[in-house]
Structure 1
Amino acid sequence: MTASTRVIDIHSHFYPDNIADMETRFGSGEWPGFRKVSDEKGMITFKGKDFRPIYDACWSASRRIEEMDKYGVDVQIMCATPILFAYAKPAKQSLECARFMNDAALEMCSYDSARLKAMCQVPLQDIDLACAEVSRAMESGHIGVQIGNHVGDKNLDDEGLITFLHHCADIGAPVLIHPWDMMAPERMPKYMLQWLVAMPAETQLSILSLILSGAFERLPKSLKLCFAHGGGSFAYLMGRVDNAWRERDIVRKDCPNLPSSYCDRFYVDSAVFSDDALDLLVKCSGTERVMFGTDYPFPLGEIDMGALVRNHPDLDDTQKSAILGGNAEKFFKLD
């Protein structure tokens, strides 16, 4: 790797320890909350139960910088923990939540604005409000927007969501698509199976929704999309999808080109946790469309941040430099 390459983590999360009590504020409905256990530990709560233990890296900029230094990460791009998307809530309540989180993210980044950056969130159930908020956030200092991969039963090929993506292209807002609200929870109540099985499937579904519906034919090529967690199960199953497109007219009805030919329309992060998976991802997407992402600071993220890319036996220094930082510099226009 060249000495000038910055290491840029494009996929990390935060959760403010002073998050507003949305339940009290709005008077009804189930909202995520927070309980501080100690100065360094806390608990996200949801539906009256403990949901996920977290530690102070979620809310402490100094702790983040400390751990970035430990693992040689120069820049970290933060986005909200997806449980806070609030797409099922009344849109104006979701907007208030988004504005609180977006302002909190910029306040956290102000600790070291050269090393900490943020992507905003929006009330995606209301396209007009979502477009207005992403515009406001980008003007305020955010460098992109994180959205969930669906809104209720609406996948990314929904016309309203396509309108939002088009708006993001128009204003130059890169988009990180993160799976959330996973399918079939009643069949996966244990062992984190929703995260291990449903989450990759949700991402595969969102990518195919854009490809097979012909949405990519209607969206401008200037749109910058990145799918979290290496695109889920997409790379592994791409051959199956291509085969189905060739053999079945119902698969290619709205998709004029071979599905794999659309891989140049989106990026993926490198959070795949094995040499073989990263090798497949690079072969599928191309080195230039893989960006370093950790899912920090959660336990399912890359604990030894950057080790997978740095130590990969088959990537050369040029490829490693591109994945670790060069691609992100171009994607987010980071000088």
Structure 2
Amino acid sequence: MKCFAVTMGDPAGIGPEIIAKAWRQQPAAMAGCFVAGDVECLRRGAAVVAHPPLAIARIASPAEAADVPPRCIPVLQVGEPARTLPPLGQVSAAAGRMAADAVLWATRAALRGEVAAVVTAPLHKEALSAAGLPYPGHTELLQAEAAAHAGVPLDRMPVRMMLANDELRTVLVSIHVALRAALDAVTFDQVLETLRITDEALTATLGTRPRIAVAGLNPHAGEGGLFGREEIDTIVPAIQAAQARGIRATGPFAPDTVFMRARRGEFDAVVAMYHDQGLIPVKYLGVEKGVNVTLGLPLVRTSPDHGTAFDIAGSGKADASSLLEAVAMARKLVRS
């Protein structure tokens, strides 16, 4: 059985700690996983979590992870070992580069079929930029790698971000862009493509076509054009086109109530028009339970629903719950 690659995240943040804490708290949940990253960074993270720290076993290939004893963390060294560890809690190009290299290695391994899934610990967007990476986050990096592997232009590999927990799933039309750019991204094609990707992904997971609620862009979903015409001119036509394809999409609904309705069980997912509109409700229900899933990729990728938490890096306070949920979600998606 193929292993799951867990990327270490930004080594200046809490990624190595939550990975070590997950292995310490629930070794059975991490069975069949290994870490792609830097051995010494993981040793530092393990030392923060437990005394004596969990052992780190350096492996040369994913297959060797199965031979590592429980409560021992298998780490595949990506690139040359760090000579100097990046300072905790500080943005640095070196940390951004190490984090990106781990994701690139794991993504390429998944695309080659060498690992079953990729679970990514948090990156820091400023560190990525400082390292010269042209991607604002994981989603864009994964999309570019998948497109390159398939030999297609970027626009032929459309992906979407889904944030999910036990109570709510939200899928975003646009992700890491300025709010003004997010408004421009609410086009007929973008909304329809989001509905298509959501329907396809959740049908595979649920075993039946999902009930998708579409959030309006404007307050009260535009109130019949009183507060904006995006719903009338763009969102409604996209919903109608989706319905013509058999997609069970309805709306647009007032964005201040649609998430509550989905939480009550009226819908299987909500398509939100921009990043914060969709992420605030999920994170409010508990960051420790949220999972980020990239839809539309030819591989399974999940991630915790939180950032690098530089302010508590090295303190041992970081919670591994969301990482454990991300691993559990990856297993579920691989089986579906």
Fold match (TM-score > 0.5):
no
Q: In terms of Rg, which structure is larger?
A: 2
TM-score of the superposed pair, with normalisation by structure 2: 0.31
Answer 1 or 2: higher relative contact order, Cα 8 Å, separation at least 6. 2
